[in-house]
Amino acid sequence: MKQSIARIAVVVDDYDKAIEFYTKKLDFLLVEDTDLGDGKRWVIVAPQGANECSLVLAKAEGEEQESRVGNQTGGRVFLFLYTDDFWRDYYKMVERRVKFLREPEKMPYGMVAVFKDLYGNMWDLLEPVAQE
């Protein structure tokens, strides 16, 4: 049996603002942007080189979903962006004014810093320790 997590939905308030943030600030690729009618779109973004998982940018509908924009996990780190070069990506993100909440720190599992996305969701930028 083989299973994998292919997509994770991130609730956003505006498709175009979200696409701009993920593609311009984080260098993600716009994988798909399909109009579904009635103001709905199927929008998928993914980090460059990612094969396992991508994000579905899901526009919030109604008060309950709108209340979750930016806080899908109750204030905990929500997503983990792995990188093969922590300092390259960290400095690029700082230059692009991505807001970091925790400065870089060397941990037993790798080099890590916590940043917020456009909506306030918390992410780890992480270069894992090489597995030998």
Residue 117: strand, helix, or coil: coil
Per-residue pLDDT tens over the stretch 56-108: 999 999 999 998 998 888 889 999 999 999 999 999 999 999 999 999 999 99
DSSP E strand stretches across 25-69 = 29-37, 40-46, 54-59
pTM score above 0.85? yes
The b/e string for 53-78 (b: 16+ C-beta within 10 A; e otherwise) is ebbbbbbbeeeeeeeebbebeeeebb
Q: Is the pLDDT of residue 47 over 80?
A: yes
Per-residue pLDDT tens over the stretch 28-43: 999 999 999 999 999 9
- Kindly report the CATH number that applies to the domain delimited by 7-128: 3.10.180.10
Per-domain boundaries in the chain: 7-128
